[in-house]
């Protein structure tokens, strides 16, 4: 975003965490959360307190990029892209609140709502202290198929839509 100071270019552009370490920006969180290693994939975000259903938990922030730039960054091995609308994408790798570390699950406890250009993550149900936050990435069917390791009983085996 234009008002944010520019970060220096990460040494390994594939992994934004290599520059500053994965972090959670408390300016965008509404509950006590923690970033920690995840059994699902690399890092994950955990609730440090009980979160009631239908409450705002965190905003997904990052650099706002165009469709053309999204295509370019999409080819990275690791990416943190959230499609805002037909034209804009938010890249959580730059200026991300930490919401970009929320892993995919086929039975998620979090859902995203786009409100006036902001991506807000809400609890679907009560989330207990210690639970990992998860969201359904809903990757389209026509992009590269990514295997899912969420381990839930409804797992569709891929983080893409079937």
Interface with Zn ion by CB under 5 A: which residues?
Answer: 106, 148, 150, 155
| Pairing status of strand 81-83 against strand 118-123 | unpaired
- Tell me the C-alpha distance between 16 and 13, whole Å: 6
Kindly state the smallest distance separating residue 153's Cβ from Zn ion, in Å: 10
Burial class (CB in 10 A: 0-12, 13-18, 19+), 52: exposed
Q: Which two tokens stand for residue 71?
A: 């295509």
Kindly tell me which of 35 and 155 has the beta carbon lying closer to Zn ion: 155
- Tell me the C-alpha distance between 90 and 61, whole Å: 7
Kindly state the smallest distance separating residue 84's Cβ from Zn ion, in Å: 24
Kindly tell me which of 2 and 154 has the beta carbon lying closer to Zn ion: 154
- Tell me the C-alpha distance between 10 and 69, whole Å: 17
Kindly state the smallest distance separating residue 109's Cβ from Zn ion, in Å: 13
Kindly tell me which of 115 and 161 has the beta carbon lying closer to Zn ion: 161
Kindly state the smallest distance separating residue 43's Cβ from Zn ion, in Å: 18
Kindly tell me which of 45 and 106 has the beta carbon lying closer to Zn ion: 106
């Amino acid at each position: 975003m234009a008002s944010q100071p520019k970060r220096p270019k990460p040494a390994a552009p594939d992994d934004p965490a290599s520059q500053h370490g994965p972090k959670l920006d408390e300016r965008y969180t509404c509950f006590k959360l923690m970033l920690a290693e995840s059994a699902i994939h690399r890092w994950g975000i955990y609730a440090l307190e009980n979160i009631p259903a239908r409450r705002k938990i965190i905003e997904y922030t990052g650099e706002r990029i165009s469709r053309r730039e999204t295509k370019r960054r999409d080819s990275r091995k690791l990416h943190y892209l959230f499609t805002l609308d037909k034209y804009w994408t938010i890249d959580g790798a730059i200026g991300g609140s930490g919401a970009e570390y929320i892993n995919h699950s086929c039975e998620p406890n979090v859902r995203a709502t786009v409100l006036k250009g902001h991506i807000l993550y809400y609890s679907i149900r009560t989330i207990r202290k210690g639970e990992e936050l998860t969201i359904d990435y809903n990757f389209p069917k026509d992009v590269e198929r990514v295997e899912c390791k969420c381990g839930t009983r409804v797992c569709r085996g891929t983080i893409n839509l079937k």
